[in-house]
Amino acid sequence: MSEKLKNRVGIIRDDRFLEHRTGHVHPEHPNRLKAIYRMLDTDFSDGLLRIEAEPATLEQLELVHTPSYIEKVLKTADHTFSSLAPDTPTSAKTYEAAWLAVGACLKGLNALLSGQCDVCFSLIRPPGHHALPDRAGGFCIFNNLGITARYAMNEHGLRRILIIDWDTHHGNGLNDLFYEEKEVLYFSSHDIGLYPYGGDWEETGEKGGQGYTINLPAPRELEDQEFLHLYQEILGPVFRRYNPELVLIAAGFDSLHDDPVGRSRLTEMAFRGLTRLILELSAECERPPILFALEGGYDPSALSRSVKGVLEVLTETDHEGRFEGVETEQIRKLLEKARRIHSKFEVWTD
């Protein structure tokens, strides 16, 4: 990694995200960000470029969402507590946090494309990868990265956007939004036995987008090195063949072994390894700008450790050492299946 990249890592944080109050027992709680922000103050008091968040505009939200749904979100301000979906509660200031979450991703994108930084991490809530054009779900209100990708296409003319979704839940909102388009390649690894119970192998895109959606149902018993090997073997050819102009990462950390929702076996080392892999692959493609946006992760301590690990890799302060992926029999079979299904499209396979 170059010195230039090391010194140009942007971060977006804002206490207004804490005003989205979901109730004391809800997993998507303000304590998630409080833990991350405390970690930033302790471990990254300097060395990161602080970028100020700004709310999205109505026109930007309408790149993905319907006017009636946006109005529904705004009306939540009239109630101390309400809900947009059975699993997505709101409070009086939720609408402000949701508009700001989108705006933070757009502000990060503009900072990247202007050359202000090379990598940016938007530490936001509510998350977004489940949000559909006309409804909330899975704790998500607006599709933060979906809007960002559409904005990058419309305003900056980008035509090869890679979205990597490593949250343990399938990002159905992102999946559906770009399912018929080759301008966005969506790659998701997820536990198909968890909400929203979709993202099966054969969901590969339609019409002009055939082959540009890669869904990888990943067994929850995978260990760090197995998980990393899956990414090495799929993301490597994806980067080299697709040559992305922009990389968006739906950075969910709910596949950690101590997460109360994901219940998988991964540790924060998996995300250190994935981050290093993505940086190395991007270096082979003339370093496209990379935007991370926080999605899931519901154990505040584990979440903050994982975000710290990602930032240490990005800033070259990682002292854990490099580790390589390992191919087991289970991984070999998963890769064979993925390649067999996608071989007819020749998007990332020969």
Strand partners, 290: 119, 247
Amino acid at 210: Q
Strand partners, 292: 121, 249
Half-sphere exposure of 140 (CA within 13 A, CB side): 32
Quick one: which of 301, 219, 308 has its CA closest to 255? Answer: 219
Question: Which among 29, 65, 130, 342 is annotated as catalytic?
Answer: 130
Quick one: which of 35, 117, 31, 9 has its CA closest to 305? Answer: 35
- Our answer to whether residue 169 is catalytic in this structure is no
Any idea which residues carry the catalytic annotation?
Answer: 130
